[in-house]
Amino acid sequence: MTTLHLITNGKIIADKEIKKIGGLAEHIDFLHVREKQAPAKDLCFLIEKMIEAGLPEEKIIINDRADLAKIYHCKGVQLAYHSVPVREVVRTFPDLQVGKSVHTLQEAIEAEEEGADYIVFGHVYRTQSKPGLAPKGLATLETIVNQVSVPVIAIGGIDVTNLNATLNAGAKGVAVMSTIWDADEPYRVSQQLRTMLDNWKEERVE
């Protein structure tokens, strides 16, 4: 399954942003709640508002906070380099899907060995969220895909112009943030990405 992951942008707690969720829900597979500065109370409020706006719990992934993902019956948790080790989350929360963000082949291999269900690798292309940092590129993405057996989700600068190239490199899905949130018409862009993903899958099945 080729999946579309939408990452929150640190501004989602604003009411106008939360209201967008209902319209986007049908096009995305997962929404990652990545609000690094938000305290637990605010995250709880945000999760509840997202569900009220029409986003199913099974489409919600919480960054770092496995406890909140469990409490709200979310799909899973996304771990970073500073998070609790993958193996401990897998052991303590066996019902959660556990993802790990990685930046190198070695990190990807370690994440798989510890029991991650999937990895998020990037940044693949230049992106405004990583100013001054060189992108990892498609060659590195393809190397990682060929060295691990878990799904690799590509992140960083992905949009409609490079989506197919990213999938051709072996990514099982893509994660985006500004591509949708900063668009003049987020619904239209999310629909376009969804259509491209579905068409790509159909081409590979034939």
Which two structure tokens, joined as six digits, stand for 31? 């929404």
Q: Is residue 38 part of a domain?
A: yes
Q: Is residue 52 part of a domain?
A: yes
Q: Is residue 204 part of a domain?
A: no
Catalytic residue among 5, 27, 32, 123: 123
Q: Is residue 206 part of a domain?
A: no
Has 27 been annotated as catalytic? no
Domain that holds residue 176: 3-199
With beta carbons less than 8 A apart as the criterion, state whether 55 and 25 touch: yes
Terminal CA-CA length for the chain:
15
Residues 6 or more apart in contact with residue 71 via CB below 8 angstroms: 44
Q: Is residue 205 part of a domain?
A: no
Q: Is residue 60 part of a domain?
A: yes
Q: What is the pLDDT of residues 163-192, one digit of tens each?
A: 999 999 999 999 999 999 999 999 999 999
Domain of residue 137, CATH code: 3.20.20.70
Q: What is the pLDDT of residues 140-156, one digit of tens each?
A: 999 999 999 999 999 99
Q: Is residue 102 part of a domain?
A: yes
- The structural domain count of the chain equals 1
User: Comparing 53-57, 90-94, 113-117, 193-197, which segment has the lowest mean pLDDT?
Assistant: 53-57
